Amino acid sequence: MTTTLVSVNTYTHSVAYVTDKLLSSIRRIILWSGLDPTKLIGNWPQLELGIKTWLHSQHLIAVVLEVFNPMDGKLVGRWDFDIRYTTGGSDDGEFWVDTEAIKHAIKKCGLVPASCSYLLIVSNNPGAASVEGWTATTFKSTEGFVRYCIGTTIGANSLSTGVAYWRKP
């Protein structure tokens, strides 16, 4: 009797899934907040490459969408996607996304002026690989803002994202 063993690299699939759903969630936030997604869509290949690279190496800590006034550079709102790497447990093959939680949070935040702009910024652990199209920058001040946690909105086996938004009280 011959036995055959087939293994699938579920982590690679998890990275691809989380990358796609994370960027799609950010696109939805931009659209549902009243902003133009053209800049995001135009940079999609570079954004996808960076996020996939850093998720795969487990250097990625967070992906942050900053919405700001281009006239003075001040923050108008912010969305944090905190990356969670878990070990142990079972890789049961469950992949999911909760866009309704994001939609509900946008209703609380309200629309932003269409004249606002946005940046996608990542926070990485030391030793992260350089990725073409990504440059170093700093976060805008959140002074006067309050952070509200939504909870986990994307899950793929041992990889997930917790989402929070910042707004003025």
Count of all residues that appear for the chain in the document: 169
Report whether 13 contacts 54 (CB < 8 A): no
Higher pLDDT: 9 or 85? It is 85
pLDDT: is 92 or 137 the higher one? 137
Domain that residue 163 falls in: 10-167
CATH of the domain at 69: 3.30.900.10
Does the residue 3 lie in any domain?
no
Residue 4 lies in a domain: no
In a domain, 5, yes or no: no
pLDDT at 6 over 50: no
Our count of domains for the chain comes to 1
Structure confidence at residue 2 as a pLDDT band (50, 70, 90): low
Instruction: Decide if pLDDT at 151 tops 60.
Output: yes
Render pLDDT for 24-62 as a digit per residue (tens, 0 to 9): 999 999 999 999 999 999 999 999 999 999 999 999 999
Higher-pLDDT residue of 61, 169 = 61
